[in-house]
Chains A and B, each alone.
Chain A
Amino acid sequence: MRTTLIVGTYLLASALFILGLKGLTHPRTAVRGNLLGALGMFLAVVVTLVDRRIVDWTVILAGLVVGSALGAIVATKIQMTAMPQLVALFNGLGGAASVLVAGAALMGFGLSEKSLALQYAAASAVAGLIGAVTFWGSLVAFGKLQVLIPERAMSFTGQRVFNAVLAVLALGLGAALIVSPESSGTWYWALVGVATVLGVSLVMPIGGADMPVVIALLNSYSGLAAAATGFVLMNNVLIIAGALVGASGLILTRIMCQAMNRSLTAVLFGGAGPPTEMKMTADEVYGGKVKSATPDEVALLFDGARRVVMVPGYGMAVAQAQHAVAELADWLEARGIEVEYAIHPVAGRMPGHMNVLLAEADIPYEKLKDLDTINPTFEQTDVVLVNGANDIVNPLARTDSSSIIAGMPILDVDKARTVVVVKRSLAPGFAGIPNPLFAADNTLMMFGDGKKMVLELIAALKST
């Protein structure tokens, strides 16, 4: 009877997870969707407490209280700009939990008979491997996003061989675990150790702008690790929830890769890529052609403008300029100027990063347009204001087939009447190449901090 209650509630929880994700298909239903997911989780946790195998609740309650308090504090205090590192951290904790639960299962609890069946051993090996890679990979990603360690790609010669050796070693240990169950604990923790090194070594060579891919992939892994743990425990709700998250992360990974026109293997194993010989040096591209403008000069451009498009990039997030940008948009709209926002899928450090920042600044989501929607409108746009973006507006992606970013879908801002670029300097973006947009006839550079320059522009507009 009790088992029926538990399994039945798990079924209900699984359905609530799917309905919850379905709610996320529209901003209007998204809040309710998230609450449905939370309800499913709550029910699953409560019903698990009546499991017959539990003999003492003190340790459980202590863990729940400590974890929930920590989670609640972090979730309420965190700045929206720090969202990528928070998601990375949460991914990692999910992976860690899977490693520990599969480990505990191997060490004794939950398996009906002590002789390990093949599937338990194989599933534990998978859970340990993916879970540990997720945990340590996420910690490295967190460190990079929080700039605790350098954000650039860090690799050493022979790293690919090193990773391949680790992977083979991990598979070997997994096989050992299956073949000799009597010392399965030893094999398991050795496997987790190897996966630890592998997780660190896989994410270290991945640099800043490739982070959206890595975060999405680790998101997927955290789900797959949970599903593998579900196979160890023979628990359907873990398998279903894990599969859903695994699928979600894979879809996002694919979208991010397409938005950069790079294959997943190129992102993961290409590192920063071989130093391509530059066809044009920065001096040839920029020499004498870059026009710098003051906020007062830029303010004149908006005189008589009918349509303005804002293009936010990672620089806007770093400068925390989203509120200033929203204030500027309000001022322009109050004067009858149409304002929209062009969001490139890989702008920022995680999928949807810019949307969250602009939503925080109270900008209605209907004004945030994706690449395919906004691109045909640039020709009818009077002023484009690019804030802290570089590679995603580089026309070389269209014009130079030998460029490292050739074929990457970009925002065609150069087709607008005037382009204003707010940027600290002419320093190259993540791709490491010069951007002819900055030297174009219709481009004005406003050099400085993303927030300060926009505020000065607003002041200049108000004083004219």
Chain B
Amino acid sequence: MEALLTRLTIFVLAVFAGFEVITKIPPTLHTPLMSGANAISGITIVGAIVAAGAQESLLTTVLGFIAVVCASINVVGGFLVTHRMLAMFRRKG
């Protein structure tokens, strides 16, 4: 139970940190924010990597493999497309 509470503490504090940082993002960057945040949510990839490599059973390996594919599309595609978009935002002149 104590372990769970420790993790919950981290979760709640991270939510607050997220609120603080993200409310300051201007509307003009909302689309890159979504795609960039989306790429960050692909962090599940670290769990997927362990699942794919631990070879507990054929089933977990297959699940892990599919998860690695999904998450890496999410991560690589997300950061790249965000970069493409942000590179277009320019100042006057």
**A interface with B by C-beta (< 8 Å):** 10, 13-14, 17-18, 20-22, 24-28, 30-31, 33-35, 37-38, 40-41, 44-45, 48-49, 51, 53-57, 59-60, 62-64, 66-68, 70-72, 74-76, 78, 80, 83, 86-87, 90-91, 93-94, 96-98, 100-101, 103-105, 107-110, 119, 215-216, 219, 222-223, 225-227, 229-231, 233-249, 251-252, 255, 343, 345, 350-353, 355-356, 359-360, 362, 364-368, 370
Contact = CB atoms under 8 A, between A and B. Distances in A.
Interface in B71-93: 71-93
B45 A352 contact: no
Main secondary structure of the interface of B (DSSP, over half): helix
Interface residues of B, number: 84
B79 A55 contact: no
Query: Could you say which of A90, A240, A343 has the most chain B C-beta atoms within 10 Å of its C-beta?
Result: A90
Contacts of B23: 251
Contacts, number: 392
Task: Identify the interface centre among A25, A33, A247: most chain B CB within 10 Å of its CB.
Answer: A247
Contacts of A78: 81
A360 B88 contact: yes
Contact of A30 (B29, B41, B65, B77): B29
B47 A219 contact: no
Contacts of B71: 67, 93-94, 97
A119 B30 CA distance: 35
Nearest to B72: A67
Contact of B18 (A28, A247, A368): A247
B56 A71 contact: no
Contacts of A222: 38, 41
A247 B56 contact: no
Contacts of B67: 63, 96-97, 100-101, 104
A56 B78 CA distance: 27
Contacts of B22: 21, 244, 247-248, 251
